[in-house]
Amino acid sequence: MYMNEAFDSICFTGSIVSQSARFVYLCLCKHADNTNQTCFPSLNRIAQIVGKSISTIMRAMRELCKYGAVERTPRFKKDGGQTSNLYKAQHIQLVFRNEKIDLS
């Protein structure tokens, strides 16, 4: 039920997040683990699925993080190089165009 509430709050018509952010959120939900709502797709993979440029995906990720819909944690390889980020859907409160909805 948690993911359904989070999904509805982001993708509901009237949400303040952009259409690109909605598509990115849908992609993250598709990849998310059912137990803790985490996933780690690369930006290239998300761009390929969503059909947008990497710069658009990065903007959408910043937007989702800004509103608290997604928590982004950098991941690193043993040699110190960065690999894909870990993403986690969060309980959030979004303001819709004419109403405030609390999903906590």
Mean pLDDT calculated for residue range 29-56: 92
Please give the sequence-ordered ranges of beta strands (E in DSSP) within the chain, or none if there are none. 38-39, 70-73, 86-89, 93-95, 100-102
Residue 26 pLDDT level (bands cut at 50, 70, 90): confident
Distance CA 99, CA 51 (A): 31
Distance CA 32, CA 35 (A): 9
Mean pLDDT over the full length of the chain: 81
CATH of residue 68: 1.10.10.10
Residue 74 pLDDT level (bands cut at 50, 70, 90): very high
Domain boundaries, position 51: 2-102
Domain count, the chain: 1
pLDDT value, residue 10:
65
The share of the chain scoring above pLDDT 90, in percent, equals: 42
